[in-house]
Amino acid sequence: MTERQMPEGPFSGGCQCGAIRFHALALRDNPHVCYCRMCQKATGNLFAALVGVRHEHLTWSRGAPAEFMSSEIAARGFCSNCGTSLYYRAQGGPHVSISIGAFDEPQKIALWYQLGMEGKHPSLFHLNDIEEAGTTESNESEYDIARIRKSNEQHPDHDTDVWTARPGVLR
């Protein structure tokens, strides 16, 4: 069996609007998806994709996430400005499980296992059989794509010196 290797740090990431940014010096060897019902609701999606970052390796470099205590033992962190789901944290645990999609380069973090199989959505077993399209090949018109590009409020996938909430963005 080939040894699996975690990618070398440091890593950066943040929420969609950029109010929350983080740095991770190293990742734990547990990148996974979880299909359990609590992860589904916490992300509003079919699964959470998470990787552990030890507390001593994690810095919130801009802003501070809000937390919802999803049970007595666990908190779910998110950006209170844009709503991005940022982490799962077990009370007293050694690490924070950060949303892989929130990293600036999520494609560098390969998944190693899947949890909560009882909650896995039936269609996810057949993803390779479902029709595929790239973002710009979907139903959006050229006009709409140009408007999305022009008005894109998503923070870029790298650290920035300043961030200002633009008036009128929050509704």
| Binding-site ranges for Zn ion (CB under 5 A) | 15, 17, 19, 34, 36, 39, 79, 81-82, 116
Closer residue to Zn ion, CB minimum distance, 57 or 76: 76
For residue 159, count CB atoms less than 10 angstroms from its CB and return exposed for 0-12, middle for 13-18, buried for 19 or more: middle
Closer residue to Zn ion, CB minimum distance, 17 or 75: 17
Query: Distance of CA 10 to CAs 25, 44, 101, 132, 145, Å?
Result: 4, 29, 16, 33, 33
Closer residue to Zn ion, CB minimum distance, 44 or 134: 44
Smallest separation (angstroms) from Zn ion to the CB of 97: 9
Smallest separation (angstroms) from Zn ion to the CB of 142: 29
**Residues 30 and 48: beta-carbon distance below 8 Å:** no
Smallest separation (angstroms) from Zn ion to the CB of 80: 8
Smallest separation (angstroms) from Zn ion to the CB of 5: 25
**Residues 71 and 88: beta-carbon distance below 8 Å:** no
**Residues 95 and 54: beta-carbon distance below 8 Å:** yes
Closer residue to Zn ion, CB minimum distance, 122 or 134: 122
What is the rounded distance in angstroms from the CA atom of residue 69 to the CA atom of residue 51?
19
